[in-house]
A and B are shown apart, each in its own frame.
Chain A
Amino acid sequence: MSSLFAWLVPLSPLVGCVLCAILAFRGDKRIAHFPAIVSLVLSALASLCLVLYNAEGETGTTTFEGYRYLHVGSLTLDIALKVDTLCLTLLCIVTCISTMIAIYSRDYMHDDPGYARYFAVFCGFVFSMTMLVLSHNLLMMYAFWEGVGTCSYLLIGYWYRKPSAARAATKAFLVNRIADCGFLFGILLLGYAMGLLPDAAKDSYFARLNFNSIFEALPTLASQHPDLLVWIGTLLMVGAIGKSAQFPFHVWLPDAMEGPTPVSALIHAATMVTAGVYLMARLSPLMEYTPSVLSLVGWLGAITAFIAAFMALFQDDLKRVLAYSTVSQLGYLFMALSAGSVKGLMVVAVTAAMFHLVTHAFFKALLFLAAGNVMHAMGDVIDMRRFSGLKRILPKTHILFLIGAAALAGLPPLAGFFSKDSILAVLFDASSDGEYGFQFKVLLGIGFLTALMTAVYTAKAYFRTFHGEELVPEEAGHHAHESTQVMLAPMAVLALGAVIVGGVLGPTQVLSNYLAKTPALESHGEHHESVWIMVASAIVGVLGCSLGFLLSKQDPNTKLQGFVGALQDWGRERLYIDWAYSKFIVLPLELLAGALAWLDTHLVDALAMRVADLPRIIGLLGQRNQNGRVPSYTFVTAVGVALVALWIVLR
């Protein structure tokens, strides 16, 4: 029974994807949402059933055999699904939120010519994402890792006639490619390292990459090849921070907002970008042996969280604010994970990260969908300088946005408060460690600072959009109106999640107990809540919101002077990171490519053309004999036959 549900989870969206693709080519495109939504609902129900039936089994992890995908010599690659509570958590989030967003998309994408294409890629994404989560093998995970990347590329460039969208899609793809190289090399190196072990001969190369065999071999590997393990950890981390848009790979995510807003909500806020966190959590037994890598992850996460929050402060584009906020929150997740470098804190760190991942998925999806409503009503204008005071025009969206923003700002008792608090608590616990204590003291400080800035920019965006004097851009026309019930209903569900998930899962220890069923995450020690962290983070939240309210009063078009003005410039210019990339990485590469292209046309091609002339010259010699007459040809043949006959005789 569990096997059936486990396979239904990825295969149902796959069928939906195929049906939508068929509709995209022939048939009525306007009904494309139907197969998509049905298949996603099925998938969500199947994943909930997996949770209810305790599909992970007695041992905490169950592998459902599929079929043999590859068999070459001693190399075999089996397709199988590995189910445990860690992946079930993410699976439920992915399928449920994607169902909500698919329902929302039905009206949001209503009149778009690529309606069926949208749903086809949407379902394709859900298929790839669920397979990624359920992978039992690193190589299979990598395949679907690329699968979600491809779907993301297709959806960012969904309006492919728009140059900015096409550029953003390419940028996202290329940046991810660089990071994925790290991931792939990490996988290959891991397979190589496993091959060095004494009992390696019994497994084929691919079988060594199964999570179960990796975890089994880890103690031996760590004692025999510690340096190699550090390299493996670093390379795998590069893959993870690329997908999760961490510094220095964070540049693609804000641009990815060129895609349709529901896509931003699903892929670039709630699910795909958390794949990096999931990878780190999945490989936490490995990471436990490489605390230095985790420490590096922590620094990168802190930098990302801080600079992204800083840049979000100065954005005028509502979706970009949310995008930078996503980057910043993902940095938070990585900061939480890095606490695993302290002995005995790994389980707590992963739990905190997963907790924040779950709550973040709810409220960030909600915020994006609300921003989508605003965009829908404002005639695709998303610049906050051009509208304000939408409270009366969009009353329901206003409430929903308020819930999401409060959750993001970390106001108690909403979901964001509990999860952010758990991360800060983990960092606080880690800061008492001897070896890495100082680092976590700094990280805790950055965490609080980021929490403050998060509250500030969230409140600022909220007040600028929904309060103040009513201003509507002319693109909206006279029919700026609230969205339909079909769009608001899934948002209401998400809002409910954003309100209660934190309280239900966090303080009650439901999530940590559930995750503890996973063999790698068996709880060792009690995690104690620290009251003063709670109080401090609540104060920070309230303080930040008030500050944001004050800042929203200020006219965005006035040029500030002095230090604050410089900060504003840096924030608006994204800290000049994109500029530096284009000047110091892209430009030299372009010059090199230009030089190579010149060499190619003037040296290689020229040589090839001269060589190609040779057959033509030889052909000229025999051209006269090609007179097209059958008798001449037959005579040549017959003379040849006669010569062969003579040769046989005279031999």
Chain B
Amino acid sequence: MNSLLILAQTDPQLWASRVTGTWSLTMLLPILLGAAAYLIIQEGVTRGLRWVLLGVLCLIGSIGLAVTFIPTSLDAWILFLFCSLATGGGVAFLTAREPVYAALGFATSVLSTCGVLFMQSALFIAAATMIVYAGATIIIFLFVLMFAQQSELRAYDVRLTNPYLAAAIGLIVMSSIAYCVTADGAFPNTKRDTTRSLSEAMSMSSSPDGLTLPAEVLTSNTPQATSGLGRSLYTDYLIAVELAGTVLLVATIGAIALATKPTAEAN
């Protein structure tokens, strides 16, 4: 049975059991609904009472869905918080008229995503994402935004291209993904991985069956996870790392070549 259909369930027992398990659908949808409510109300102020009422309805639905959620543990709470914040940041990014606010919304979203990654024991990637996105990319983008910023809003900041079609496409893609990943047997529910890599084989000697990673590696957020990642990167994926480094170098050169002021003869 598909979890997406939970919302259509009438049996409260089943509802509650699923809700505590799969909060993503039931909680993130309210956020989306809330965002829609915000947009509709904002639009409705200029369009009329009917729009405002629709927006209020959405808001009520959103709150109603939200209160059905009861996280079971602290971990789940924190994860939920980060996810909500990230989604909210994304919505703010989508709806902001000021490009600067949009960029700030993006930053919120990325930082919260870093929190999610952190919760998933991907410490190194969380840190790297924070440094690269929030630390570097966003700042530079903001610089460029400021550099290109005019005193008043430009039409291209306010007007959207085909918002309704885009929303429909986004909805279709979103619901397809949600349907697929929550379907029964969408992916094997096992932590056993038969494709053992070289680096894991090195740390596998202590493993009882020679197939599973030691329990502490799997569950803990200890630095061992990061060191294992490093070992994997520089043994199994060495060529990929070298290639990525080369691509970075080429991109650096390209960026410098592109951004230098064109000389007189080039014109």
Contact = CB atoms under 8 A, between A and B. Distances in A.
Q: Do chains A and B touch in the complex (CB under 8 A)?
A: yes
Interface of A: 631, 635, 638-639, 641-642, 645-646, 648-649
B267 interface: no
21 contacts: A631-B161, A638-B166, A638-B169, A639-B169, A641-B169, A641-B173, A642-B168, A642-B172, A642-B173, A642-B176, A645-B172, A645-B173, A645-B176, A645-B177, A646-B172, A648-B176, A648-B180, A649-B175, A649-B176, A649-B179, A649-B180
- Identify the interface centre among A638, A641, A648: most chain B CB within 10 Å of its CB: A638
Contacts of B180: 648-649
Contacts, number: 28
Contacts of B161: 631, 635
A110 B177 CA distance: 82
A631 to B, nearest CB: 5
Nearest to B174: A645
B266 interface: no
B25 to A, nearest CB: 15
Interface string B145-174: 000000000000000011001101100110
Interface in B67-92: none
A650 to B, nearest CB: 9
Contact of B176 (A631, A635, A639, A646): A646
B187 to A, nearest CB: 14
A385 B171 CA distance: 100
B164 to A, nearest CB: 12
Nearest to B178: A649
Interface in B21-61: none
Nearest to A650: B176
B151 to A, nearest CB: 26
Given A645-B177, A649-B179, A649-B180, A635 B172 contact: no
Contacts of A649: 175-176, 179-180
B interface secondary structure, majority? helix
Contacts of A631: 161-162
Contacts of B169: 638-639, 641-642
Q: Which 5 residue pairs of A and B lie closest in terms of their CB atoms, listed nearest first?
A: A645-B176, A642-B172, A631-B161, A642-B169, A649-B176
Interface of B: 161-162, 165-166, 168-169, 172-173, 175-177, 179-180
Most buried by A among B168, B172, B177: B172
A213 to B, nearest CB: 48
A342 to B, nearest CB: 73
Nearest to A639: B169
Contacts of B162: 631, 635
A47 to B, nearest CB: 53
Nearest to B176: A645
Contacts of A645: 172-173, 176-177
B156 to A, nearest CB: 11
A191 to B, nearest CB: 46
Nearest to B177: A645
A648 B183 CA distance: 12
Contacts of B176: 642, 645-646, 648-649
B51 to A, nearest CB: 26
Nearest to B171: A642
Given A641-B169, A642-B173, A642-B176, 4 more contacts: A638-B166, A638-B169, A642-B169, A649-B180
Nearest to A632: B161
A631 B179 CA distance: 28
B173 A635 contact: no
A641 B161 CA distance: 18
A256 B169 CA distance: 78
A639 to B, nearest CB: 6
A642 B162 CA distance: 15
Contacts of A635: 161-162, 165-166
A646 B174 CA distance: 10
Contacts of B173: 641-642, 645
Interface centre among B162, B166, B168, B176 (most CB of A within 10 A): B176
A139 B66 CA distance: 86
A638 B172 CA distance: 10
A649 B181 CA distance: 11
B169 to A, nearest CB: 5
A648 B177 CA distance: 10
A631 B159 CA distance: 13
A641 B168 CA distance: 12
B5 to A, nearest CB: 13
B127 to A, nearest CB: 32
Contacts of B179: 649
Contacts of A642: 168-169, 172-173, 176
Contacts of A641: 169, 173
Contacts of B177: 645
Nearest to A643: B172
A216 B172 CA distance: 80
Contacts of A638: 166, 169
A631 B201 CA distance: 48
A344 B173 CA distance: 94
Nearest to A631: B161
A384 B175 CA distance: 100
A643 B169 CA distance: 9
- Scoring A631, A639, A648, A649 by chain B CB atoms within 10 A of each residue's CB, the highest score goes to A649
Contacts of B166: 635, 638
Contacts of B165: 635
A639 B169 CA distance: 7
Nearest to B175: A649
A84 to B, nearest CB: 55
A645 B169 CA distance: 10
B56 to A, nearest CB: 30
Contacts of B168: 642
Nearest to B160: A631
A534 B162 CA distance: 109
Contacts of B175: 649
A355 B41 CA distance: 113
B231 to A, nearest CB: 36
Contacts of A648: 176, 180
B29 to A, nearest CB: 17
A296 B184 CA distance: 89
B254 to A, nearest CB: 20
B206 to A, nearest CB: 41
A649 to B, nearest CB: 5
A518 B165 CA distance: 91
Contacts of A639: 169
A429 to B, nearest CB: 77
A638 B175 CA distance: 15
A635 B180 CA distance: 23
A10 B177 CA distance: 72
Contacts of A646: 172, 176
B7 to A, nearest CB: 16
A641 B173 CA distance: 8
A42 B152 CA distance: 86
B171 to A, nearest CB: 9
Nearest to B165: A635
A645 B172 CA distance: 7
A8 B168 CA distance: 79
B242 to A, nearest CB: 32
A645 B175 CA distance: 9
A112 B171 CA distance: 81
A21 B169 CA distance: 66
Nearest to A640: B169
Interface centre among A631, A642, A648 (most CB of B within 10 A): A642
A648 B162 CA distance: 25
A635 B162 CA distance: 9
A198 B161 CA distance: 81
A143 B173 CA distance: 65
